[in-house]
Amino acid sequence: MNKTVNINLGGMFFHIDEDAYQKLTRYFDAIKRSLSNSTGQDEIIKDIEMRIAELISEKHSSDKQVINVAELDEIIAVMGQPEDYRIEGDAEPEPINYTATPGRPRKLYRDKDGAMVGGVLAGLGHYFGIDKVWLRIILLVLFFCWGIGLLAYIILWIVMPEAITTAEKLEMRGEPVTIANIERKVREEVETLSQKYRTVSYDKMGNEIRTGVGRAANNAGDAITRVLRILAKIFGAIIVFWAGITLIGMLIALFTFGSSSFIEVPWQNYVDALNYTNLPLFVVALLFFFAVGIPFFILLILGLKLVVRNLRSLGSIVKYALLAVWLISVGILITVGIRQATEVSSEGKTVMKQELALNPGDTVKIRFRYNDYFAKDVDSHHDFQFTQDEAGKELIYSNNVQFTILKAVGTKPYIQIEKQAHGKTLAEARKRSEKINYTFEVQGNQVILDNYLVTDIANKYRDQRVEIFLYLPEGMLIKPDSSVQDYDASDDGFFNLHYSGDYLYKVGANQVKCLDCPADENDWEDVEGADTDTTATTTVTVNADGVRVVKGEKVQTEREFKGLEINEDGIIIKTK
């Protein structure tokens, strides 16, 4: 059993066993000896400590885990041994190549060292391997042509972190974060700083001007950054709020609809009837939750990153897992949607034709009836609902019934009943239409039609409906009652049903004429929804403003008054 030691490395707290601690101490001692004559030794040691702390954090998700010798050996293998890169203090530095190590991904940071304003374009140049000059040209073109360059720059400025430490600057260029590279990078920065001091005496005035301009630009940039960060936090809070509300609502919906597969709920029959694929509802709800919820979860994380700085990333494994789940869910939902559509892609019908034993000299009365077990009156309408008959058998009940009057070819009246339904194939749709139950009867001179249809619940709802075509010979008299108007689908050019009363009609050669409609109605005036407004009145006024009739009706029209003519035929009002 080994003792453990608590250490503070690079500002982070770790538990390490005693053997690993001694090895880590020897490792740092060796580094210090190799850097004994190096410029910037303290900064190099600090950067190495921070990098080792980052590597340890990547291996240990919990601060309660203890670092052992084997794990420390892996980290040292990544960083390298001091004797592998020892450089004499007076040695001439080798030329520096900033090309990233092949296969090593770069990280996106703002490069303030090569910046003109915020270092955004310099950082993008390192990330994509493009000269920052070209990116600046592209930004100017976007700004002057479409005006979007500035907005894009501001957003990237907010989102991209600045490369501050030496390790971050190496990651920005895609270089391995080893001791050798850290030392080299620190030497470069020290050399650059020394070069600036050496050249100050030669170009003191120009340097002061550049320094003043740079300081002013940095101050302005910092002020803009602070304002943008405040706006970003507000925007992030809004995103977090709405994304959170959406996810909570989706969780409630998932539980509500998903539980219907295990618990009997009132809407279960409707769900089963509309579920053409027979896929369990909780599976559909879960797929929908993943397909819609994952994008909102990503938005929630992005909003939190805007609100909380240095928020830990989800990690590559979690990101790829979420992407895989989202793609699978969307793919399955698309497949289910296609199957759902194909289940009702075909329409089939069953046609029944029957001659009616009606006396040509009688007036045929037409009316609809309702079943008082399913409805309370003939005006009660439902596209479809689930109910039970007198024997307790579950049925689908619907008032999807249409009635049309047509002229018969010949002298015999007859009726044609068309039962229609949808299905995956024509044969399946026709088979389903055959299972629709619909009845009518003829009693003397009355044609009595059901205002509903029923079918077994096992047939599911597939837009079942019934169309009734009543063919009447020329010269036959008919009298539809008020119940017909709710189901009439006749062509107004042939039969225009007046809704103001039960009138007598006669079948003509080209249309059905109303024989006893009011004199002030023609065949197309008394149509439901006509654009006239009639009210009772007690005075008579005829002038350019309109017409008002005593003890009759006032007829208001939107037409413009043109003229008035009075002769032996009466009063003729002309309108434009």
- Alpha-carbon span 222 to 109, nearest angstrom: 17
How far is the first Cα of the chain from the last one, in angstroms, to the nearest whole number? Answer: 108
- Alpha-carbon span 70 to 366, nearest angstrom: 95
- Alpha-carbon span 466 to 39, nearest angstrom: 94
Beta strands of 48-142 (E only): which ranges?
A: 66-67
CB 370 within 8 A of CB 313: no
Instruction: Kindly report, residue by residue over 451-474, the tens digit of the pLDDT.
Output: 899 998 888 888 899 999 999 998
Extract the residue ranges of the chain whose pLDDT is less than 70.
1, 36-41, 61-64, 83-104, 143-151, 177-219, 221, 258-277, 376, 500-501, 519-576
The predicted structure's pLDDT at residue 471: 93
H-assigned helices in 413-561: 426-434
The predicted structure's pLDDT at residue 101: 47
Handedness of CA 325, 328, 334, 339 (dihedral sign): negative
The predicted structure's pLDDT at residue 255: 80
Please report, for residues 112, 278, 347, the alpha-carbon distance to residue 460 in angstroms, rounded to integers and kept in the order given. 67, 11, 15
The predicted structure's pLDDT at residue 496: 85
Question: Quick check: helix, strand or coil at residue 17?
Answer: strand
Q: Both tokens of residue 120?
A: 């955004």
DSSP H or E run through 42:
helix 41-59
Please report, for residues 361, 481, 495, the alpha-carbon distance to residue 519 in angstroms, rounded to integers and kept in the order given. 26, 20, 18
Strand partners, 455: 396
Parallel/antiparallel/unpaired status of strands 363-369 and 446-450: parallel
Q: Both tokens of residue 55?
A: 């590597």
- Alpha-carbon span 292 to 289, nearest angstrom: 5
The amino acid present at 536, given as its one-letter code, is A
Phi/psi-derived region of residue 570, left when phi > 0, alpha when psi is between -120 and 50, beta in every other case: left
The predicted structure's pLDDT at residue 562: 54
- Output the CA torsion 277→283→286→292 (10° steps): -20
- Alpha-carbon span 265 to 31, nearest angstrom: 71
- Alpha-carbon span 533 to 557, nearest angstrom: 8
DSSP state of 147: S
Angle at 348 between CA 345 and CA 354, to 5 degrees: 160
The predicted structure's pLDDT at residue 199: 53
The amino acid present at 420, given as its one-letter code, is Q
208 burial class (0-12, 13-18, 19+ CB within 10 angstroms)?
Answer: exposed
Angle at 463 between CA 408 and CA 404, to 5 degrees: 20
- Alpha-carbon span 524 to 496, nearest angstrom: 7
Q: Both tokens of residue 511?
A: 């249309």
- Encode 397-447 in three state secondary structure: EECCEEEEEEECCCCCCEEEEEEEEEECCHHHHHHHHHCCECCEEEECCEE
pTM for this entry:
0.47
